[in-house]
Each structure stands twice: as structure tokens, then as C-alpha cells.
């Protein structure tokens, strides 16, 4: 069903984004590895390119011009965009045992801005610039990443402010584009994930991105009636997190 579809994954050079990109490649979708680290993105694209047609494009999701240029390059190369995954984010991997982020009273303004502009701003930029191409063809899926963070001890405020805002953003955008047959959902990994760069001991305690299985592939095939909702992957299928919380 996804064979030949064009999928953009931001922050796809490594971690969860890399896993998502690989699952789409296995389905023979055409995959765009969009990442700030272009050198690593090229390495990932070369690896995944053994499965399907793949290109690596540099992008700074905080910069609207950079995102627009990336989207324009995708259209020029592939002619369409079927799935866009807003994955790129600054994540406080506290579960890895690294130092916690500052409390709000001690947080530098530029730190706050970098987190919000990457996580929420990047989601806004990506969504804004793929929608016109999807609306033109009356089809498309946009998947926005959600994550969790404990209220105590302090440190997760900036991250969770951005992620909770993304869920609200998703609900509202879903309604804006519903008549255009563009499905917009949030995907939640639910648990801390260990990826490249984590301390060795964290790999012994935490699951890797593989725990997310075919979650992204399934989210990219959700029907329109599910638009605006939040999903997680469990036992080989998607679970409606919005219903569980409500």
C-alpha cells in the first residue's frame, strides 16, 4: 500500500527517525532523510538506499526557509509528498542518566527558545510547507511526534510544553485540512528510547527504537476518521491514546 509513496522523515539520520525511515523503506516507499547533520543523513540514506530509492537532504527545522527549500527539493525530485513525519526534536534523555535540564527560574532564554523552536517550531514549519502539496492532490498523512516527561524532579518543563503544544497543534490542523483528505495525527513512543550516543549502561535498561515496530507505517495508513488523534504502538497494532486518556 505504501510502495512508491514519498515519505519525508525529519531528524532521520539516527534514532527514532532512522527507525521510521527504515520501516518505510522496507515497504518500498521512497524515503527522504532530512536532517541537520547532513553527513550522518547521507550515511543513513546510503544504508537504507539498499532497500528503496532514498535521498538525504540538509534541513534546520527551526528555519522556515530551510524547511521550504527542503520541501521544494523533494517536489522537484519526486513530484509529490505522501507522508511527512515531524520527528526532529531536542529531547531531554533523563532516563539515560544524563544531567537534568535547568529549572525554569535558571533556564537561559536561548535554551528555552532552542527547544521550543526546534520541537514546536519545526513541526509548524514542516506541516505548513507540505500541506499545500498534499491538498493539491487531496491526499496525505502528517505524523507529529509526542513524548513524555515527569513533573518531578524538575527539568522537563520546556520539552513537555513543546510536546503538549504539538498535540493541540495536531488537533487543530487536522480540522483545517479534513476536507482536503489530509490525515494529521500524533504518535507517542510512550517509553524512553535508547539511541546512538546513550551511555552504555542505558542500553542495558531501555528499549531501542525497534520497540516501535511498524507504528509509523501503520500511522501513515490511518483513515480520515482517525485524524487529530494520538496513537501508540502496542502488540503489533496502533492504540488510540486519546481514547485511553479520555
* Domains of the chain by start residue, with CATH: 6-245 (3.40.50.720)
CA 51/CA 28 separation, integer angstroms: 7
Neighbours of 217 (CB within 10 A): 19
Segment 110-118 shows an average pLDDT of 98
pLDDT bracket for residue 192 (50, 70, 90): confident
Strand 54-58 to 83-86 pairing: unpaired
Of 151, 148, 44, 146, nearest to 93 by C-alpha is 148
Segment 52-60 shows an average pLDDT of 98
CA 145/CA 194 separation, integer angstroms: 16
pLDDT tens across 152-178, in order? 889 999 999 999 999 999 999 999 999
242 pLDDT above the threshold of 80? no
27 pLDDT above the threshold of 60? yes
245 pLDDT above the threshold of 80? no
Segment 199-226 shows an average pLDDT of 95
CA 140/CA 58 separation, integer angstroms: 23
Query: In the chain, pLDDT over 90 holds for what percent of residues?
Result: 86
Q: Mean pLDDT, the chain, as a whole number? A: 95
Of 54, 186, 80, nearest to 132 by C-alpha is 80
| pLDDT value of residue 220 | 98
Segment 18-40 shows an average pLDDT of 98
CA angle 211, 223, 119 (to 5 degrees): 55
Active site residues: 159
pLDDT tens across 86-106, in order? 999 999 888 889 899 999 999
Amino acid at each position: 500500500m505504501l510502495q512508491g509513496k514519498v515519505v519525508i522523515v525529519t531528524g532521520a539520520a539516527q534514532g527514532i527517525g532512522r527507525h521510521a525511515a527504515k520501516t518505510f523503506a522496507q515497504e518500498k516507499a521512497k524515503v527522504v532523510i532530512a536532517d541537520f547533520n547532513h553527513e550522518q543523513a547521507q550515511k543513513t540514506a546510503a544504508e537504507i538506499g539498499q532497500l528503496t530509492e532514498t535521498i538525504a537532504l540538509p534541513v534546520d527545522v527551526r528555519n522556515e526557509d530551510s524547511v521550504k527549500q527542503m520541501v521544494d527539493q523533494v517536489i522537484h525530485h519526486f513530484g509529490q509528498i505522501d507522508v511527512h513525519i515531524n520527528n526532529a526534536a531536542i529531547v531531554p534523555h533523563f532516563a539515560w542518566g544524563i544531567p537534568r535540564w535547568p529549572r525554569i527560574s535558571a533556564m537561559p532564554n536561548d535554551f528555552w527558545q532552542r527547544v521550543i523552536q526546534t520541537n514546536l517550531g519545526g513541526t509548524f514549519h514542516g506541516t505548513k510547507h507540505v500541506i499545500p502539496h498534499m491538498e493539491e492532490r487531496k491526499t496525505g498523512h502528517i505524523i507529529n511526534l509526542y513524548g513524555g516527561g515527569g513533573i518531578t524532579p524538575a527539568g522537563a518543563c520546556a520539552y513537555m510544553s513543546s510536546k503538549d503544544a504539538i498535540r493541540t497543534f495536531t488537533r487543530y490542523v487536522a480540522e483545517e485540512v479534513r476536507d482536503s483528505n489530509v490525515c494529521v495525527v500524533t504518535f507517542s513512543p510512550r517509553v524512553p528510547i535508547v539511541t546512538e550516543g546513550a551511555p552504555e549502561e542505558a542500553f542495558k535498561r531501555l528499549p531501542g527504537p525497534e520497540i516501535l515496530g511498524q507504528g509509523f507505517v501503520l500511522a501513515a495508513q490511518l483513515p480520515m476518521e482517525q485524524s487529530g488523534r494520538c496513537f501508540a504502538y502496542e502488540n503489533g497494532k496502533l492504540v488510540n491514546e486519546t481514547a485511553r486518556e479520555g
